[in-house]
Amino acid sequence: MIEGLACWKCGASLDDLPQPLSRRAECPACHAELHVCRLCRHYDPAKAKHCREPVAEEVKDKGRANFCDWFQPRPGAYAAPTKAAGSRSELDALFGGGSAGGPAEPDAARRALDDLFGGKPD
C-alpha cells in the first residue's frame, strides 16, 4: 500500500481506495481516471514520450486510463497551481485577456494604442 497517494488532478486523498489501483479506478472526489501516466512514477514531461521507462509503449493522452504494464502510482503526482497560473491571471488583468473578462473590444484596444502613440495614423 502506498501512503500519501493523492489524485493527480484535484489532490484528493486516495488512501481509502484498494490497491493496486485497477485500470478503471476513479478519484472519489473529482472522478478523474487514476490508471494514467500523470499518476505514474515513470511520468516525466522532460523525457521522450514523457516516460522514464524506455520500453513502455507510448500513450498519447497522459490523463486517460491506459493498459500500461509499467504503471506504478506515485505520491506527489498532484501539482498545485503554480506561479505560472498566477502570472497568467496577472497578464490577463493587465491586457484585458482571459476567459473571465473575455477578449478586449477591438475599438477600445485601438483607442488605447492611438492614445499611446499620439493619434491615428494617416
Q: How far is CA 18 from the centre of its chain?
A: 25
pLDDT (0 to 100) of residue 59: 94
* pTM score of the predicted model: 0.64
CA pair distance 116, 56, nearest whole angstrom: 55
CA–CA distance, 79 with 84 (Å, rounded to integer): 12
| Lowest mean per-residue pLDDT among 15-19, 28-32, 110-114 | 110-114
The full set of domain ranges for the chain reads 1-80, 83-117
100 within 8 A of 92, measured Cβ to Cβ:
yes
Check residue 96 and give its pLDDT.
74
| pLDDT of residue 39 exceeding 70 | yes
Query: SS3 for 39?
Result: helix
Work out the pLDDT band at 32, boundaries 50, 70, 90: very high
40-88 pLDDT tens trace: 999 999 998 999 999 999 999 999 999 999 999 998 888 766 666 667 7
Within the chain, residue ranges assigned H as helices are: 83-95, 106-117
Residue 54 CA from chain centroid, whole number: 24
